[in-house]
Amino acid sequence: MTGTRQILFVQGGGEGTHDAWDDKLVGSLRRALGEGYEVRYPRMPDERDPGYASWGPAILRGTAGLGDGAAVIGHSVGGTMLVRALAERPRGRLAAIVLISAPFVGEGGWPDEESGLPADLGARLPQGVPVHVFHGLDDDTVPPSHADLYARVIPQARVHRLPGRDHQLGDDLREVAAVLVPGGGQSPGRTNSGWSSSRSQLPSG
């Protein structure tokens, strides 16, 4: 697929998430990006009980198959697992790292000795790669404050707070697509606090 930009999308956890929930996010992303992008959406092992011991290697296999200039996206716990995997085994020449509604595991966030994130997370990520953190302000699954916890340990991260959006961002990833398209991050629809939206909240998944 010459000239095609690759994107790896890591699903969230929970029974049925791959086929009944996050598939809608992937569908939205594909529609928003249009031609010229290949969105890979692997099924994570044992989605009902996500753990880094099984998800970490699966994520690293997915990133190993990407060419230079690819972007990686993780939703919910998939974002937490993704950023930890990249910190432990950095992969160079990525176009972007995107976390969507990701719980922060560590000081101030959710406790988990197995999957805790290091305080110097930003320094461990591939240098020079843009990091975007998206979080809906109406997320009742993962508190929006977790986005600020990521900003604390990833100083280079850009936080996008989305008013009126839930844990699934209303199944609409147009704002995410905008930061992946060359020059798209300069859209006039962006505000200093991130992207804004007047869409009403949809049920969380």
pLDDT tens digits, one per residue of 155-201: 999 999 999 999 999 999 999 999 999 875 543 333 333 323 322 22
pLDDT at residue 115 in the model = 60
Across 54-63, 134-143, 177-186, least confident range? 177-186
Average pLDDT, the chain: 88
pLDDT at residue 182 in the model = 82
Q: 3-state DSSP helix/strand/coil percent for the chain, to nearest 5?
A: 35, 20, 50
Q: Is the pLDDT of residue 204 over 60?
A: no
Residues 105, 117: contact at Cβ < 8 Å?
yes
Residues 175, 134: contact at Cβ < 8 Å?
yes
pLDDT at residue 184 in the model = 59
Q: Take residue 152 and report the two structure tokens written for it.
A: 């604390």
pLDDT at residue 91 in the model = 75
Q: Take residue 190 and report the two structure tokens written for it.
A: 């962006």
Within 8 A by CB and 6+ apart from 132, the residues are: 96, 97, 98, 99, 157, 158, 160, 176, 179
How many CB atoms sit inside 10 A of residue 205's CB?
A: 18
Across 1-5, 36-40, 100-104, 135-139, least confident range? 1-5
pLDDT at residue 22 in the model = 98
Burial of 67 (C-beta count, 10 Å sphere; 0-12/13-18/19+): exposed
pLDDT at residue 192 in the model = 31
- Give the tens place of pLDDT for each residue, 84-131: 999 999 877 899 999 999 999 999 999 876 667 999 999 999 999 999
**Residues linked to residue 40 through DSSP beta bridges, in sequence order:** 8
Residues 117, 84: contact at Cβ < 8 Å?
yes
- pTM of full prediction above 0.95: no
Distance of CA 121 to the CA centre of its chain: 15
How many CB atoms sit inside 10 A of residue 89's CB?
A: 13
